[in-house]
Every structure is written in C-alpha cells, then in structure tokens.
Amino acid sequence: MHVPDGGPRPSDEEALDAYSRVVTRVAEVASRGVVGIRTARGGRALGGGSGFVLTPDGLVLTNSHVVSGANAIEVTTLDGERYDADLIGEDPHTDTGLIRVTGALAPLTLCSSARLRVGQLAIAIGNPLGFDSTVTAGVVSALGRSLRAASGRLIDDVVQTDAALNPGNSGGPLMDSAGEVIGMNTAIIQGAQGLCFAIAIDTVHPVAIQLLRHGRIRRASLGIAAQTVPVSQSIRHHYGLAGRTAVSVREVEVGGPAARAGLEPADLLIRIGTTEVSGVDALHRWLSEERIGEPAPLELVRRGRDRRVTIVPREAG
C-alpha cells in the first residue's frame, strides 16, 4: 500500500520509533530548564507546582496560584539543587507568576503560539504529585479557548491539549516537537478525560515582562461595578449590535472616571471607543494598559435615551 503522494507508507514500528525519538529528545532538552516549586507561609507548607526557567540569571515562570500567599518559595532542579526564590510579581488574572533565584539555570526557548496548529504534538513536563520531571505527550486539541481565572476574569488564547496534567504540573511548560515552549500548563477539568489547558506563551511572555518591570500588571479602570445583561431586539437593531448582551452599571465609584464622566447606576454601556461592549469580559479586554489616561468616547443608554460622554480611564488600583 502507498500513500497518496506515491511514497512508501511507514510501518507502525517506524512511526512509533519516530514519535518516541521526538518525545525523548524534547524531554532531555527541557529537563534542565524545568523546576519543582514548594511554598510555605509562616513555616506551614502551602503546596507546590512546577516552573520553567526564562533567563539564565534565574528568572522562573510559574502559575500565580502556585506562589500566591507564600512568604517562602523553594525551587528544586532535576539535579537536586535547591534554591530559595523571591517573588517578583504575580498576575492572578492570567494565572502568571514570576520568581527569581540566585543561581545560573538553563533557560528554555520560547516559540510564538501564533504558529500553533490543531493536531500538532504537545509535550507537558512538570512535577505532578511530587514526581520530579514527569513527561506526558499528546496533541494540541483546540486553540483560542477561554478559561475563567480564579479572579473571575477570562484568560483568552488558551491552548487545549490531551497531554495528561495532574496537580503539581501547574506552571510547567507545554512544548512542541522542537523542544520550544508553546504554553504554560495551568488547569485540568476534574472528572473529564483529556481536557487539559495551557496559557499560550504569547499571553504569558508580555505579562512576565510587565511583572519584571513593575512587579504587577498595569490595567485601566472605569471605576464601576457592572454586570452583563441581555438587551432587547429593538436596542440591538437601533444601535447595530452584533451581540445579544451589553453591560449594565451597578455602582459608580465616587470620584472615579465614570463619576467624572457623569455615569449613573442602571446606565447600559453600548460602545467604548470603537469596541462594542457585549459584556464585562469584553470591557475587561478593552481596559488594557494603553487605555490609561487616554480619553475615549462612550455610548450608553439611560432610561431609553441615547447618551454620549467622554471617559478617561485611570490605572486600576
């Protein structure tokens, strides 16, 4: 039997050998840059997870939920070396944490996750349940997923994989067949088979840079509490809305940007700038660092009447 292009079809043994060689090579390359993490607070152990080396001078990426609340962090390499680590910063909204150790470590190479394709090989390396440098392999099952962070915000651009993850894999790398990092393992769906998720490296890396610069992530704020609500067909038609929902203001912070712009509780936000405000998640995505201090037109509905105001987002506290 021949494949469509006329070439010989490899045997199952040959195919398995090629697959095994790729996974083995990636595991050997990556093991030097994957670390175990143990955390404690006030002398009481909090838990642990995994991380991977970002720079040779000791910067390590992991999940925010791995290091959150800890005042003592210990990093262990495959060679058994132990280092005390300092927390540089964390961002619970993307479940990203950045720590630093004093020591020379082997960094992993990052690959743009924009090049990922469904079906390509995905290899997860970490320290699940205390078992050091455990390797699992599978494929990229889906791209562009969204995952709700513990903070309540959506993490966009999440990679779904069937490479098995377990508690302790959190913060470890998801890698491609070239041994480059395509994502940071973050979550599994309890009770489901083969539903595991990694935050795309194109999301993680800019967050890490901001954490290194500022120790936190700068985001814009309007100074409101709000909720996503359905809108009537007549409103959708009148304002040319593609979605079926908008954002209703519940509270306005005294002295905040919304208060200065004249917003009131029960206002229905329709558009900000050129962006349709189809829900709180869409509003969060719009409120990025570059919006801080920049005036933006805001279209809203108040008691059935159209209003337009200008609002100047401030930095979120």
Catalytic center residues? 65, 95, 170
CA–CA distance, 57 with 177 (Å, rounded to integer): 26
Q: How many alpha carbons lie under 13 Å from residue 68 in its C-beta half-sphere?
A: 14
Cβ pair 191, 140 in contact under 8 A: no
For residue 77, the SS3 value is coil
For residue 235, the SS3 value is helix
CA–CA distance, 173 with 62 (Å, rounded to integer): 9
Q: Which residue, among 81, 79, 86, has the nearest Cα to 101 in the 3D structure? A: 86
SS (H, E, C) 132-195: CCEEEEEEEEEEEEEEECCCCCEEEEEEEECCCCCCCCCCCEEECCCCCEEEEEEEECCCCCCC
How is the chain split among helix, strand and coil, in percent rounded to 5? 20, 40, 35
Q: Judge residue 134's burial from the number of C-beta atoms within 10 Å of its C-beta, 0-12 exposed, 13-18 middle, 19 or more buried.
A: buried
Could you tell me the CA-to-CA distances from 78 to 20, 57, 110 in Å, in that order? 21, 17, 20
